[in-house]
Chains A and B, each alone.
Chain A
């Protein structure tokens, strides 16, 4: 199998002295759909910036499809399409001109450029808007325009930095479909997102980055399998004063109010076992809902683990 990206001990210290990457190593195989996750300021965009040469690295090496990016500047750039986190096209230009110009930068003859431009603007639902100035587009359309622009030279590797931020649910789903199709047709995709269900839906492998270090790098399946606890909010049909004594059942519970409590259950305990327990203790349940996305929980536990569990970015 070919390696699409090999990052070796990459470091970055910005001019202001901030150490954004503290030696990350990562491999993404060709054909993969890869999620790069991490909290705000973790170093995701910095990593992508280095891959796309917008950020100068301080140390380490990067190979794209087996070629060192410093030694093979032009070839590696041809293989790469990038959708940045922030809008970065001219607000005064028309939609079609933006994509056509980008094709020109890649040396594409006009005829071919025009065909590709139409193909991707149509696929991303922007063809009707082709003669509009880009600043008149909605936020979601602007993101899609950047995807069309990144695809016009049909790169083997597409990197998307939060492509679905601020995109409505319907559109997000259609973007997922589009990206899945693209991936099935052979394009390697790396994406960052703060919507963990998005990563769960789309990606086969993931890395979690925090404070400039990789704290987890595994397959989505292995990660989810490692998930051994699940937390629910239990809504009660009849009020209770206090929680029952659960005995040695593999769970822990926390009283919220007389109409609800929170319960964290070991994965070994099945749903029917849980309801038998409720029945046994005369707990009348009206509704049960998952407290958080499974991956979210895992994500937070990984970050906590890496930080020693004492650090919270936002103080309550």
Chain B
């Protein structure tokens, strides 16, 4: 292939294209390099310093996430120096992190927990001042625990780069740097769309779904990939179920048209599934105003009879059709065909236009 760049990572011959980073090529070749601030949906950031690698001939260590590959490059992903820095980074993060894995929502899917496990860091040798921030949950969906934040900036960046809402930013400096909203306002008073993309980006338990709280963690739920029923985009979602009830919805980063992105409905709008108000069969309104449960067959013929009667009596333009955004393009096509060809009117529209 033309334009192919060849390099060696830990002695293994690898190749990639111009513009690809060491991290991308390493991952493709199943060479593990730890990261915390890296999210493949976002521009590389180079902040956590876990992915530092040694490149032959380079001055100092380089972050694999931002360093582009070059022909003949020789990379070492694990040396004594590198591992010392990685361990120090983990120890430093744990020195200002609550000892809360027992009850943390993210236990089991937390990058920091995995790293501490892998490096066998039980207790940080750098015990010192720790932060005691209040939990921020003055909204129905997103809970923020700044004590657990590792300042990777993934929430800040996903909200800016992908969502375009720019709700979060960094404030203060040094040890007291923290992620916040403008003037520390509640998310309700910001342009937040409650899409929960920030939750999907957070590698630790600093951003979690309020409605999933206490309902089941990564390891004790069943995970089923499916398609979101809300609209025609057809995002791939993962339903987390426990005791046959949905307790959380996430999106796999490597699948589907959405590649890990979701909107507020897809991520949080699943409660209708187990709602007692949910319609499970057709109902026909009776003359006294009450609703009667009928079979699908009965309901369809009831509609057909009455449409035919109304069309006969008042003409086709007395009927209009309004389609739903939850339908696919194909379904919407069939729907307008039905209204135009079968009913004989152009009175057809779609809720997305309203």
Q: Does A associate with B in a complex?
A: no
Residues on B facing A (Cβ under 8 Å): none
